[in-house]
Amino acid sequence: MTRSSSTTTRFGSLVPFAEPAAIRDLPSPYYNESHHQLRRAARKWADEYIMDIPFEWEEETKTVDPAVYKAAADAGIVTCLAWGTRIPKKWAKPDGTVFGGVKVEEWDGFHDLILIDELHRNGSLGVGQGLFGGLQIGCPPIYHFGSQELQDRVLPDIMAGKKRVCLAITEPEAGSDVKNLSTEAVLSDDGKHYIVNGTKKWITNGIYSDYFTTAVRTSGKAGDMAGVSFLLIPNGEGVTRRRMNMSGQHCAGTTFITFEDVKVPVENLIGKVGEGFKCIMNNFRHERLMISIVAQRIARVALEDSLTYAHKRRVFGKRLVDSEVIRNKVAHMSRVIEAQQAWLESIVYASEHLPHDLANQRLGGTTALLKAHCGITLELVAREAVQIMGGIAHTRGGVGERVERIRRDVKGVVIPGGSEEIMLDNGIKQELRLALGLGAKL
């Protein structure tokens, strides 16, 4: 697919650095008309359905509206977000296109980037995660490792918005240390079912989901890397869900799940017995890249709102923005956001030009570092935005609503998908292993 370096018509916010360079009349080697077409469609959909509802969903109902999720499915957005890779042609519309009129064979990582970016332009991590968080990480393992029978049985209802799915890996004693999970799946005497017992914690969308893509232990003990398998567990008898009370992202539906003697058909095994860790690792790079894209847009929102406020607020007879101290804060916020965008796009570009397994090998460490960096950047930008806006950004509702909420939501970027500390360490360890494997003399 040919990429154009020509400029595109500017649209969206005119506040400096509130939008990516590709829609600020600046040439880019990464984007073509197909990408711009998708952005226009995504922005129109988001403006209609989710731009004005974060306060209601996050502070009042603390839940997502099922009608909006169904609207996303009907529009084809769910289909575009479900794979963690290119969209399978069988899921295109009859005319061979997907959401935004994009030809299914043209869909690439930059379309993913644009769609995720636009769906978070309202500045709410909770709304974006409440609608699509579970889907984006719970569905790819079914597609990549599930049997054709399993896919044919569950994917049509998921794509239609009739059923929802989430990823259930984390446990009270197994967060970043995935191999420490202890939820047990024992094969029944007749060999037809797995009997599952255990708990899962901090599961995004768990309260909304009909299926749980679940990491279980089919052999060995907690701490063993071997013996971990993946099961698709339907919500039903023996499954108990409890919504967790989080500091932010209230409508993300973060859930504590208990499995008590849950019977799961052996046909719901995802991948091979004992190879669940492979499935988990395959999913992590996609998840971390997705979180990075979200964090980048949320940082832009905080910058936009604080800079806009600085032009209106007058202190000691002059506007805040007329103060060198305030402009210095804005400059530092802007430079890290723009540098981060370049790194993000370079990783997406590399992903598009490497086979999937090789991309995981070559880009796993870099993506872990990017994910950590995006969390660090968002914490910096959120803090400085609050400092610029003062008490109004410490008040729920009103002019400072988005920045106040972002400040509370920050840890929902820094911790999930691997904490900052784990990501920094893992990123460097992976890069060192890669370098030594390539013959580096260190």
Phi first, then psi, for residue 53 (nearest 5°) are -110, -5
Domain that holds residue 306: 277-437
In a domain, 87, yes or no: yes
Domain boundary among 236, 255, 274: 274
Q: What is the pLDDT of residue 84?
A: 82
Q: Are residues 294 and 229 in the same domain?
A: no
* 10, 36 contact by CB (below 8 A): no
In a domain, 2, yes or no: no
203 has a pLDDT exceeding 90:
yes
Q: Average pLDDT for residues 391-419, to the nearest whole number?
A: 93
C-alpha 181/C-alpha 174 separation (Å) is 5
The percentage of residues in the chain with a pLDDT greater than 70, rounded to a whole number, is 98
Domain boundary among 215, 239, 274: 274
187 has a pLDDT exceeding 50:
yes
Q: Are residues 179 and 230 in the same domain?
A: yes
Q: What is the pLDDT of residue 86?
A: 87
Tell me the per-residue pLDDT of 313-361, one tens digit each, with 9 for 90 and over: 998 999 999 999 999 999 999 999 999 999 999 999 999 999 988 999 9
What DSSP element (H or E) covers 184? strand 184-187
The contacts of residue 85 (CB under 8 Å, 6+ apart) are 140, 143, 144, 286, 356
Q: Are residues 292 and 415 in the same domain?
A: yes
Q: Are residues 202 and 75 in the same domain?
A: no
Domain boundary among 240, 274, 308: 274
Q: Are residues 296 and 393 in the same domain?
A: yes
Phi first, then psi, for residue 188 (nearest 5°) are -70, 160
Tell me the per-residue pLDDT of 31-40, one tens digit each, with 9 for 90 and over: 999 999 999 9
C-alpha 330/C-alpha 338 separation (Å) is 12
Tell me the per-residue pLDDT of 242-266, one tens digit each, with 9 for 90 and over: 999 999 999 999 999 999 999 999 9
What DSSP designation does 88 have?
A: P
Q: What is the pLDDT of residue 10?
A: 65
The mean pLDDT of the chain is 94
Q: Are residues 91 and 209 in the same domain?
A: no
What DSSP element (H or E) covers 157? helix 148-159
Pairing between β-strand 211-217 and β-strand 165-168 as defined by DSSP bridges: parallel
In a domain, 66, yes or no: yes
Tokens of 147: 């049997």
In a domain, 356, yes or no: yes
CATH number, domain of 393, equals: 1.20.140.10
C-alpha 35/C-alpha 344 separation (Å) is 16
